[in-house]
Structure formats: structure tokens, C-alpha cells
Structure 1
Amino acid sequence: MKRMGRSDSFHDALVKAPMLRLSLPFIGGLVLARAFQPAWPWPGIAATVLLVLWFVQSGSVRRYGQRWQRGALLYPGLLLFGMGWQVLRQPERMDTLARQRMTTVVWRMRVTEAISTGRSTMRLWARVDAAADSAGVRAAHGGVLLTLVSDSGLALPGTGDELLVHARIDTIDRVPDPGGFDGRAWAASFGIRHSCFAGRGQWRVHRSATGFASFFEGARRRVSAWLEASSLSARERGMVKAILLGIRDELDADQKAAFVRSGTMHVLAVSGSHVALIYAALLWLFKRFGERTRWRIVRSLLILLVLWCYAGITGATPSVLRATATFTLFCLADMAGRTSGPVNSLAAAAFLLLLWDPLMAAQLSFQLSFLAVAGIALFYRPLMRLWTAPNGWLHYAWSLVSVSIAAQLMTAPLALWSFGAFPVWFLPANLVVVGLVALGVYGGAALLALQWIPVLGGVCAWVLVVLLKLIGWTTDLFAWLPGAYPAVRINGWQCAVLYVIILLLAAVFFERWRWARSGLLAMIVLLLTTWAWNAHVRNKQHRFVVYDDRDQLICAMESGRLLTVFTDSLDQWSERKVDTHRRAIGARGMNTDPVPEQLIMDRLVIRWLRGGDRAVPADPSADLLVITDDARYDAERWLSPVPPTRGLVLAPVVSARRRSFWRRWCMEHHVPVHDVKLHGAFILPIHALAREP
């Protein structure tokens, strides 16, 4: 009887998940292969040998106590299989763009996903399969981040469309600002190393798409057009598109910031929560027809049809496909009359999706989606058992609280590591916003269906506007409360320690395992020790930074927890850059000064050159020179005798012609050069710092 009472415990959720035990070593192999880059085909050969031995051993193991022999072969085999699969599917194995980049030819590309659409540009992921020039057509392979300038005479491309692009492909190598968005790492997580920018007249759709996503492209555009024709204002229409279709391009910066700071940004990404809402509504509707086998099959088939149609209309993005694949397993289990544990189904979905595309393991959206669902699967029922609500309304409220806590438990460490901040008011914000978004999803669907009916359409639009205003008001309220989004800085190892602490906490509070208390105490001591050491290292760190700004020169000097910014002016965009930098290093103070002529940093001299030859000092020697204007300098006279050992930094305000001259001179004289406009931010670590008096 005791075991029956714990059938939905944290312990049983793990024990009754054989796919979890198979998926973890496979995922571990994918991670190890990305970290150590083993040579092909050795992991594959070793995996094949171990799996063959496992198959042979499985036939000879008869007794229960000998099962460990199969596991001793199976789990290392799956680990090596994951390593081999990652190496085999690595995009660099087939990428030929590195040899053909920097040449302007006609590229044939196929759109794999539309990322965003702005007023004048569109960003997409695309795969190149051919290149054509005067010598003919030749094969080319590789992925690109494609940016298109909108052409009023051409329809925007969709997923699966084949494009002809006459432009240059270049490597994604811009250095991000401290704490800023790292476009290189983001693109690399999708297997993309190159980018392409095509202006008006440089691209056209060669062949329209065929396939799953393209089948729904017309419906997706019609839905968007219907919303344009509705009586909603631009602000509410943008939020409906974000909630229903995952199109966040029409949200303004303040709306996005409010959702981020309140910890509710996930409701604007069409993913597992949206698919779960549709699944739950359909399951509740169809369960009234009974539980006979025939009705279960019909019910599951109808649910699958609706879910996959919704996935197509929302653009068949990876997050929606992941969620739809997971709920497909639930439907298949329901059709077979078998109850599959949520952890087991989630692990099976992860295994199949990573088998299809191992690059997903490095994508933050994949990690957060699965960790959120894993948290709900592991902790939701144990949290619900902590309190028995006296009525239905409180039970519903407690279920929302439990879901929010369960999801946040498993996503918080990764979010802290990735974003360096924590939304303190996530619990009350999600308690209100998630419920309103659920009503918004259903209300948006009703508006699309009934907007052409004179009375009902107006009523639906009015109700939806009220819901959207409540969502916006709630996110604004929690986003700007005191201490709403404090900076919290951890590294990868501390993120792993936090996950161990969470699992040990669950073992202590839900399972009452005494041994977990000692482990929990040890992990907390380890976390605090590493946190203190990192703070000590941070306080001794000094760096010189030139920001990645294309329009003006902005420099900064880090001295422990003090940040000094050198610039003649700061606009709103630049202030955000500086604030991101300040939060990233945990600066306790910040000063803003005009750009000086010289800094001395632990015997390292940094000099800004401006005004031409007449302004050059008698002793122009320096370790690092920052060229700030288009004035002409006699480089042979001033720099050749004592060239700067740390090189030159070319400010973004310098013209393209002068920057080309300086890059050529530096190449001829073997002097390092960094062009901010081409290469992004310049970051120079140093050991000590002293401002010249």
C-alpha cells in the first residue's frame, strides 16, 4: 500500500522511465563530441563493437542479478554512439563555403526557417547547394544566416523556398560586446558559420516550396492578413501574432523588455505551452465520448490532425515540432490503451529528435523547452501533494503555482548562466499571465473564426483586447517592481552544481533520503566557495574595451567593479550597451568621461590619434593606437620606427577608404589591426590599470 501511495512520486517518475536511462548516455556522447571533437570513425567503430557485444550478451543473461552485465555494455555503447553520431552529422564535414567565401557569385539556397521580418529586412536560415559564375555551375554545401532587404515587387520567401542570391558570403566572426549577444555562438548552435547580406535586386525566389511547412504557408499568411483586417490596434495585433503564431516582429522594445523582466517571455514563443493548451482543450472536449478503444483511436487521430496543422500554420519551427512530437507520443500511447509516464515520453521524444538533428542539443531553445517539461514531469505532482486545496478555485490556483515552480526549478540554472539575471517576480507574474494567455489563445482562435460575423466578431475583438491589455498591464507591473531583474553571474560548472542541488533538494523533501542531506550541504559549500573565488578573480580583472558600435567611438575601462566609459555622447542604444556591460561585470560604480588622449595601463600605453600629422605628439610611441578620424598621418614617419606592439584599433567613424589604407599598411608591416566596423568589439585583458595623471 505504501508503494501505491507513492506511485506518482519523484522517485517513481525516474525509475519508471527506461527511455531516460537510454537517452542520457546518448546525449552525453553528443556533448562530449562537441567538446573534444574526436576523429571519425573511431567512436562509431567502438560503439558498433560494444553494441554487438551487448546483443550477444543479452541472449546469454538469464538471471535477474546478471542484468548489470548488459548495462555495462549498453550504456558505454550508447555514449560512443552519441559521439560518433555527432561527428558524422557535424556540418563542417560537408561545408565547402569556407573555401568559396568572399566571392560574389550567384548562390542557390533553400530556406530552412524564417527567423524574423522587420520593416525593411528579413532574416532566415538557409542551406546552399550550388554556386554559379562565368565558369559554370558547381556544387556548394553549407548553411548561412541570410539577410534580405525587402523588395516591394517581390513576395517575401517562406520556409522551403529556393532562392537565387547574387551576393557575397562571409564568415560570422564579429566579437560581441561584454555581456552582449554573441551572434557567433548563436549561429554555431544551428550549425551555421557564414552569413550573407542581399540588397534589393540581389535576390529572387527561384522555385516555391513543396513539403509540410510550405503546405501551410498560404494559411499562415491568410491568418496574418485576417489579423491585419481586424479592428485590433497595432499594439494588440502584434501581441496576438506573438501569442498565436510566434511572430514577435511587431512587438515594440518595451513590450519585449516587460515580458523578459517579469519572467513570462516563454508565452510569446509558440512552443510546448501552446501545444499543451490545445491538447488539453481537445482532450477535455473529446473525452465526453467515452473511453472505448474505437473512440480513443478516433479521438487521438483528431487531436494529432489538429496539432500537426497548428504546427504547420505556426511555421513548423523546431520548438513547435518538438512539442508536437512529444504529444504525438502521448496520443499513440492513448490509442494503444497504455499509460506512458511523462518523463519516459519526454526522454523518448528527446532521443528521436536528437537522432534526427543532433545540433538541437546545443540550442538554448531546445534545452529550455525540455528542461521546463522535465521539471513539470518530475516536480508537479510532488508539489501538488504538499497542500490539498479546499475548493476547485484554490486547487486551480495551486496547480498554476506548482507548474510555474516546477518549470522554473529546472530552467533557472541554465537561464542564469545564459542571461546573467533572474526574474524575481516570476511566480505571481506567471500565475496571472499564463491563465490570461490560455484565454488569449482560445480567444484569438475564436476571433479568427468569427471576425466576419458582424456582432460576434466585434464581441470577440473587444474581449480579446481586454485580455491583451490585462496581459500587458500585468507584465509591466511585475517587470518594473523593485529588484525585478537582478544580475546573477554563474559559470558552467556552477550551473551544473545548481542542478545537483535541485535534485538533492527533491530527494530530501520529497523522498526523505537522509544521505541526500550530506550531499546537499557539500554542494552548497562548493557553490559558495566557487562563487567567492569568482568574485575575487572578478575584482582583480582589468580590461580595455572598444564597443561594437557602427556609428560612434565608445571605449571603456574596467577596473575590478568600476567601469569608466569614454565617449563624447551616448544615445539610447549606446546606453543599453553600456548598461549590459555594467550588469555583466557587476560594476558597483560607473563614470562617463570624454575620450582622452592617452591611458597608461600597467606600463601599457594606449593612445588615441586625431587631427592628422600636426596633432601627433613629439613622442607618439604607444602599445595600442586607436585611430579616431579620417585625417591623414605619415605612418612611415610616426609608426614604422616603433610600431605599436598591441596593434591598431580602427574606430567605426573612420571612412571605408581610410580603414582600407590602415589595414593594408598593418599587413605590410606585420602589425595587428582590429577594424570595429568589420570585426565587432575590441577587448584587451590587462593585469593592472592606472590612469595617467
Structure 2
Amino acid sequence: MLANHKGEIPVIILLLPWLFGITLGLSFIQAAYLPVLSGVFIGLGTVFILLNLNYQRFAVYKFRWLGGLLINLILLTAGWISTVNYYELNNRNHFSRSAAQYLAVRINSEPQFKAGLTRFTASVYQNISFKQTTATSGTLLLAVKDNAAMGLQYGDELLIPATCTPIDPPLNPAEFNYKKYLFYQNIHYQVFLYPGQYHLLQHNRGNPVIAYALKLRQQMVTSFKLQLHHPDVIAVASTLILGYKADLSNDVLQAYSKTGTIHVLSVSGAHVAIIYFLLQWLLGFLNRYKYGKVVKMVLTILLIWYYAMLTGLSPAVCRAAVMISMVIIGNTFTRYINMLNILATSAFLLLLYDPFFIADVGFQLSYLAVAGLIVLQPVVYKWVTFKNKWADKLWALCSVSIAAQVVTFPLSAFYFHQFPVYFLLSNLLIIIPTMIIMCTGMGYLLFFRVPWLSTILAWTLENSILFMNKALAVIEHAPFASIGKIWITPIEHLLIYAFIISLFYFLYDKKPWLLKLSMACLLLLCISISFKVYRSNNTKSIAFLSLRKKTGIVFKSGNNAVILSNLADTAKVYRYSVQPYLDSSKINSSKVCGLEDNISLRYLKKQGNLIQFYNKRLLIFDTGMSNLQLSTKLKTDYLYITGNPNTTLQQISRSYDYQTLIIDGSNTQKLINQLETEAKEMRVNYSILKRNISLIALSN
């Protein structure tokens, strides 16, 4: 299944401790660990060398396990060290370590304009304070609200104010962790700029090769716009062929995601493989010459890497480029090739360049999918045998899709919380259109200046994309097209993988203990999921969500919930911050009510601003209640201040007896500061939701 002997896959064996070391490095990444790790690495390396130099003298051959143990420990330590060194906040000259008035930055990514903002990343190379400059380093995320910023390009140098702010963590349960996402890109600070707050210093100061590739890609995207008419067609063509995703609409992304074909929109191994076969066909005539095979090898590798550079050098493309380059070299010089070794080598090279790639979702899915094709596809293919040639070919394609989906399902469910039911049908459906799109798209880019030929190619390209989009839209809206709201814990994620690996290994090797192991993993998984469902069904809670200047209170009773909010359920903030919490809490039935609505349910009563949820009482204190004085104190568990009322905590305490004070983001910072000061003086338990983590209170 993997190899007849571990000697056939030495890189896989050596890669495992390296991966474990990187994982440890991500968990313990502080610079304080570096001296100890360096000492351990040097010590282990010295022992390894001395033992090899004195192999006979110390009779090391009697302890054959010792060499393997030392190598594994050395690789583990090396992986850990590489991660700590790569973490830019450990650099002594990082821009955040010294105060400055201005920063000189160089744009190191292609600026993207969306929703009125131009976003890009930039490398900081200079701190400026009172006309004194200091060389520095680090990466910033910039968002510029200025139409003039649309003219900014990769390599431009800017002077910006040093008003950097750390990336906010997720403020609500199950919300997308944007801070962690940027952390794994080594980005920890951001800047928002408006007109007049930045100045252009110089043009074209970036890497000339990358600048040329980005410029050429923009020209190619523009050439698509010349003869393709539908915006979604242009977006899909630009994404599928060139890796340019800026113009993709949410509807298109959703259609591909729900049908299990989102991988088509990520330029990866399949796309590079098509380019490889095209080049093999075009350069096939060189095989007739003496050194033709070598020339063909060099040209093919150069053109594949040129295409990889053109598409942005994503981990998936780099992996495919490294793998295919090694396959080409092996085939040219007639060497035996183990695909798992090549896969591991490409992973090692990429992680040597950037150890944070290990946390990239695209990197993980890409390598798992290819590993699944190499290891599991032959097992799946042998399940059924067809005598008919075409039926056998169709089953071969099905086995490819099944193997890739099975091995990537736990990871995609963990990250994206859904499973495409009709993945087999949709993946079979897009095979031919994808190949036509790639071939006609590349042909169009090569011959778009030839009038009649470019017109034919553009027509074929556009109609192929339209057909594929419409077919996937039909599958997307079919009954039970996808299973959503899948929220699994890291332990459950690992249990699913243990179940898959042991089951498939049993189907290959037929050892009974493997079947027992797979069943044990399945049993533990079922117990874990059942416990979560039971706990969710019997949980009663109030969630005070942090929604910037909006209000959001979720009353959860088992699988039912009422959301008290001034947000519509179609609003972007609702989908981003509220809906993930509902999904992760196993809410099957929910209702959004306005702040002014009265509610009468078995578990929730709301009359005016007073709310009773089981045994908990909540009062919403807004502008309408700021001048209201009660003759006797009203007892309440939570007092929720919203809408920026003109009041003080002393005035509130005259009429209300409360246990917890909650202040949402709709209040001004002045009022929040005032209430916080009073709460500390009065020793009142309080929670501020503005730019702070939400509060979840259990009522049972």
C-alpha cells in the first residue's frame, strides 16, 4: 500500500520528525527557546558524528536503534529551530520593538481592490523618528480607503504613519480566526489609511522577476476581458488558468464549494499536470535528436516553473512543480521513481523555505489529496472489476475522486464544516470541461492577437465555463446537495483519520487487528458526537455577542434559539459572527427579533425592555430609559446598556439591582470609559463588548 520496505520511502521516514519539530515550534515559538534548542542540536550532532567516527571502537552496531533515534531527534530539533527563526516577532530589529513616527514600507503582494478598500501586504524596511532612520524588518497588512490607491503596484515604496494595531482575535464563538490565519502568514499588525495619510516614495523596487510575472498576469487577465463577455466567466477563467481570484463572486465560490469542486478554482497539481502533458506533446519532436531529451527536460521544467510563478507560487502549485520536475528528471535519465518519496521531498523543500506552510489549509489539502491518490486509489480501484473498457475507465475516474474525497473529508469538514453529497457526480462532470477550459484558455492567451483563431477559442472557452457553472448550479440546488453545520473537535478529526487509515489498511492487508482498531476509533467517535449532541440538547444559555456597533443577544434553549438583534439575518456581520455560533451550537430552529419586539415563548418572555429567560432576568437599558426613575428597585441578573444613553452608573443603581453590567459597542468610547471607571469604583461585575470577547452565560 505504501511500499514493500521502508527503504523505498526514506524521505517519508525522515520527514515525520521534521514535521513534528515544526508543529512543536508553532506551539512553543518564543525566542527564549532558541539557545536551548541550538545547544541540543549541536550536542546531538556532535554525538552522532563521534559515534560514526568510532563505529567499531564503541561497537555501535550492537545498538542499531541508536543511529535512527539520534537522526530523528536532530531533525525534530532542526524543524523546531527553523520555525522559531522564521517567526518575525523574534527578530530583534522588528519594527514593533521600537517607537517611530513613520514607517517606510515596500509593497510585497499584488494590491486587491474590493468593497471600496485596496488591500495588500508590505515589508517594513525603515523606522523614521525625528528625521532619524533605523533599518528594520517585518510585514504589515494595509487597507487604504482611497481611490488613488488603486494605482499602487507590487514593489512601490510608501511612507506611512507608524499607527500599527495588532490583529484582533475572534470576538465571538466559532467566528473565523483571522488573527491565526494571518499569524501563519507571519503578519501580526495592520494599518488603515485614508487619503493624505500615505506618500509614494518610489516605484518598482520589488523583485523584478515577480514584478514581471504579476504584470504579465494582469495583461493576460485584461486579454480575457477583451473577448469574454460574462463577468463570472472572466473571473473563473482568470482563477482557473492564472490563479487570479480577485474578481470571483460569492455565488460562484458557493456553487463550487457546495458541490465539492472548489479545488478546480485553486491552481494546483491537476492544472500543472495539464500544462506538463501539453508541453510533452508540443516538444515531443526533440526526442529524435541526440541531446533532445535533455533539452526537452530543461525547457519543460523552466516553462512549468514559469507558469507556477505566473500563478502566484502557491504551496499547491509549488508542490506540483517540484514533483513534476523530479518525475521529468527521473524519466529523462531512466531512474526508478517512488511518488511518495517525491511528494515528501517537495514538502520538505517547501517547509524548509517557509515552515508556516504546514498550517496552510491549501498546503494540507493539496498534500493529503495527492497522498490519497497514490496510496488509496489503487485500493479503491480494486473494489470493482469491469470487463468493458469504457466502464473500467469510468470506474478508474470514480476511484480517483473517491480516494481524494475520503482522505480530505475530515480536514475539509474540520475547516469548512460541510460535506458535498454529490461530489462524485460533480467531479466527473467537470473533468472534460476543465481540460477544454485549460487548453482553450492557454491557446487563447498565446494567439489572442490572431483575429479568427482567438474568436473561436474565446467562444469555446466562454461556453465551456458557462456549461460548467450551470451544471454545478443545478447540482448545488439539488435536494440534499450538501451536509452543513459539521463542527468537529480536533480529537474527533484525528479519530476520523485513524478510522480511515486503519480501515483502508485492513482492506489492503486483511489483518484482523486493523479492523478492530478502526471499529474502536469509530466507537470513540460516536461516543464523542453523542455526548456533544446530548449536551447541546440540554443546554440553556445567553450569549452576548460582540458585533461592533450592533446588538446581538442569543437565547439558546436546546436546539432552539431566539436572536435579539438590530441586524437582518442576511447582513454580512450576521453571517460572519452570529451564524457560525448558531451552527456550532447545533441550533436547528432560530428566529431573529428586533429590540423593540415583544416575545412570548415557553422559555422566553420579553415585554418592552425586560426579558425573562428561564430563571434569568435581563434588562435592556437604552436611551428611552435614561430618565426613567422607579419607586422600588427592580432586581435583574444582567443589565445591558446599548444605544449610548445619557446616564451614569450611580443613576442606574438607584432604580436597578443587578449582578452583571454589560456594555455593547453601540455606546461611545467616552460613555464606555465613564461606566468602566464607575464600575471599578463600585466593585460591580462588568463586561465590555466593544472590541472584546463576547460573554456566554449559562442559565442551568
TM over 0.5: yes
Which amino acid is 1:44 matched to?
A: S
Return the offset for 1:665.
Answer: 5.6
- Check 1:198–1:664 CA distance in 2 against 1; reply closer, same or farther (3 A cut): farther
Match of 1:614, SS state, is coil
For the 8 Å contact 1:627–1:651, the answer to whether it is kept is: no
- Check 1:598–1:205 CA distance in 2 against 1; reply closer, same or farther (3 A cut): same
Match of 1:94 in 2: 91
Return the offset for 1:463.
Answer: 0.8
For the 8 Å contact 2:551–2:664, the answer to whether it is kept is: no
Deviations 1:171-190 (A, max 9, x none): 11243443332211211222
Match of 1:584 in 2: 584
Match of 1:247, SS state, is coil
Residues 49-68 of structure 1 mapped to structure 2, 5 A cutoff: 49-58=43-52, 60=55, 67-68=64-65
- Check 1:622–1:512 CA distance in 2 against 1; reply closer, same or farther (3 A cut): same
TM-score (norm 1): 0.88
For the 8 Å contact 2:619–2:636, the answer to whether it is kept is: yes
For the 8 Å contact 1:270–1:314, the answer to whether it is kept is: yes
Moved more, 590-599 or 442-451: 590-599
Deviations 1:59-117 (A, max 9, x none): 5279998643321221122222222322232233127455568x8x4222233334743
Residues 459-474 of structure 1 mapped to structure 2, 5 A cutoff: 459-474=456-471
Residues 210-359 of structure 1 mapped to structure 2, 5 A cutoff: 210-287=207-284, 289-290=286-287, 294-359=291-356
Match of 2:601 in 1: none
How far, CA to CA, are the matches of 1:377 and 1:430 in structure 2?
18
Match of 2:166 in 1: 171
Match of 2:498 in 1: 500
Deviations 1:531-575 (A, max 9, x none): 222323333444433445446323212233222111245152256
For the 8 Å contact 1:246–1:314, the answer to whether it is kept is: yes
Which amino acid is 1:243 matched to?
A: L
Deviations 1:232-284 (A, max 9, x none): 22221111112122222222221111111111111112223322221233235
TM-score (norm 2): 0.87
For the 8 Å contact 1:621–1:639, the answer to whether it is kept is: no
How far, CA to CA, are the matches of 2:406 and 2:581 in structure 1?
27
- Check 1:399–1:296 CA distance in 2 against 1; reply closer, same or farther (3 A cut): farther
Deviations 1:187-245 (A, max 9, x none): 12222222211223333443422243123122112112212222422221111112122
Which amino acid is 2:627 matched to?
A: R
How far, CA to CA, are the matches of 2:629 and 2:253 in structure 1?
47
Residues 419-458 of structure 1 mapped to structure 2, 5 A cutoff: 419-458=416-455
Moved more, 23-32 or 670-679: 670-679
How far, CA to CA, are the matches of 2:526 and 2:569 in structure 1?
39
Return the offset for 1:676.
Answer: 4.8
Match of 1:111 in 2: 107
How far, CA to CA, are the matches of 1:643 and 1:212 in structure 2?
68
How far, CA to CA, are the matches of 1:64 and 1:308 in structure 2?
45
Matched, 1:16 2:8: yes
Match of 1:593 in 2: 593
Match of 1:509 in 2: 507
Match of 1:179, SS state, is coil
How far, CA to CA, are the matches of 1:663 and 1:110 in structure 2?
41
How far, CA to CA, are the matches of 2:655 and 2:139 in structure 1?
45
Moved more, 568-577 or 506-515: 568-577
Which amino acid is 2:532 matched to?
A: N
How far, CA to CA, are the matches of 1:371 and 1:111 in structure 2?
33
Match of 1:250, SS state, is coil
Match of 1:619 in 2: 633
Moved more, 418-427 or 638-647: 638-647
Which amino acid is 1:130 matched to?
A: Q
For the 8 Å contact 1:544–1:683, the answer to whether it is kept is: no
Return the offset for 1:21.
Answer: 0.5
Return the offset for 1:19.
Answer: 0.5
Match of 1:5 in 2: none
1:75 to 65, 72, 77: 72
Q: Which consecutive residues of structure 1, in runs of 5 or more, have no partner in the other structure?
A: 1-8
How far, CA to CA, are the matches of 2:5 and 2:423 in structure 1?
26
2:124 to 128, 145, 155: 128
Return the offset for 1:646.
Answer: 4.3
Residues 681-692 of structure 1 mapped to structure 2, 5 A cutoff: 682-689=693-700
How far, CA to CA, are the matches of 2:95 and 2:486 in structure 1?
39
For the 8 Å contact 2:546–2:694, the answer to whether it is kept is: no
Which amino acid is 1:608 matched to?
A: I
How far, CA to CA, are the matches of 1:433 and 1:373 in structure 2?
19
Which amino acid is 2:644 matched to?
A: D
- Check 1:153–1:593 CA distance in 2 against 1; reply closer, same or farther (3 A cut): closer
Structure with more contact order per residue of length (Cα contacts < 8 Å, sep ≥ 6):
1
How far, CA to CA, are the matches of 1:572 and 1:294 in structure 2?
63
For the 8 Å contact 1:296–1:334, the answer to whether it is kept is: no
How far, CA to CA, are the matches of 1:253 and 1:520 in structure 2?
39
1:552 to 546, 550, 553: 550
How far, CA to CA, are the matches of 1:520 and 1:189 in structure 2?
33
Match of 1:143 in 2: 139
Match of 2:649 in 1: 635
Deviations 1:593-651 (A, max 9, x none): 34352445686654321125224655366554332213301333325999966443223
For the 8 Å contact 2:540–2:557, the answer to whether it is kept is: yes
Return the offset for 1:671.
Answer: 6.3
Return the offset for 1:389.
Answer: 5.0
Which amino acid is 1:49 matched to?
A: G
Moved more, 282-291 or 313-322: 282-291
Q: Aligned residues, how many?
A: 675
How far, CA to CA, are the matches of 2:97 and 2:678 in structure 1?
26
Match of 2:419, SS state, is coil
Match of 1:3 in 2: none
Residues 349-388 of structure 1 mapped to structure 2, 5 A cutoff: 349-388=346-385
For the 8 Å contact 1:626–1:648, the answer to whether it is kept is: yes
Which amino acid is 1:24 matched to?
A: L
For the 8 Å contact 2:141–2:190, the answer to whether it is kept is: yes
- Check 1:478–1:638 CA distance in 2 against 1; reply closer, same or farther (3 A cut): same
Matched, 1:194 2:189: yes
RMSD: 3.2
Which amino acid is 1:420 matched to?
A: H
Return the offset for 1:468.
Answer: 0.6
- Check 1:10–1:288 CA distance in 2 against 1; reply closer, same or farther (3 A cut): farther
- Check 1:666–1:359 CA distance in 2 against 1; reply closer, same or farther (3 A cut): farther
Match of 1:46 in 2: 40
Return the offset for 1:153.
Answer: 7.0
How far, CA to CA, are the matches of 1:87 and 1:382 in structure 2?
40
Match of 1:459, SS state, is helix
How far, CA to CA, are the matches of 1:163 and 1:399 in structure 2?
54
Provide the identity percentage: 23
For the 8 Å contact 1:666–1:673, the answer to whether it is kept is: yes
Return the offset for 1:170.
Answer: 0.6
Return the offset for 1:335.
Answer: 4.2
For the 8 Å contact 2:548–2:691, the answer to whether it is kept is: no
How far, CA to CA, are the matches of 1:405 and 1:64 in structure 2?
46
Match of 1:565, SS state, is strand
